[in-house]
Amino acid sequence: MGKNLLCPQLLVWRQIYTVMEEACRMAGDACMSPPPPVFNMQSWELSTYAQKQQRWAATRVWAEQYGFEHLIEELSDDDFYDGD
């Protein structure tokens, strides 16, 4: 059975978030919403697979909406959380 790649591993996701948050701040647009927040460790443990997938999808939509999709580097399978 193949891997079910839900979202980036938490550490990888936090790194992506930090870069996007800084880009948002540097854009200086008061109307720009910040990127969707990354889970903290407790909420990561308590969230379902669907919630993780939804938050990652929202992050990608945000990046595309504001032209920051290039900030999401090419991720390898090892960078992704697969539910295990």
What are the extents of the domains in the chain?
Answer: 7-70
pLDDT at 4: 67
Output b/e per residue, 25-47; b: 16+ Cβ within 10 A.
eeeeeeeeeebbebbeeeebeee
Q: Give the global pTM.
A: 0.88
Question: What local confidence, expressed as pLDDT, does residue 24 receive?
Answer: 93
Biggest alpha carbon distance in the chain?
46
Average pLDDT, the chain: 90
Tell me what pLDDT residue 30 has. Answer: 86
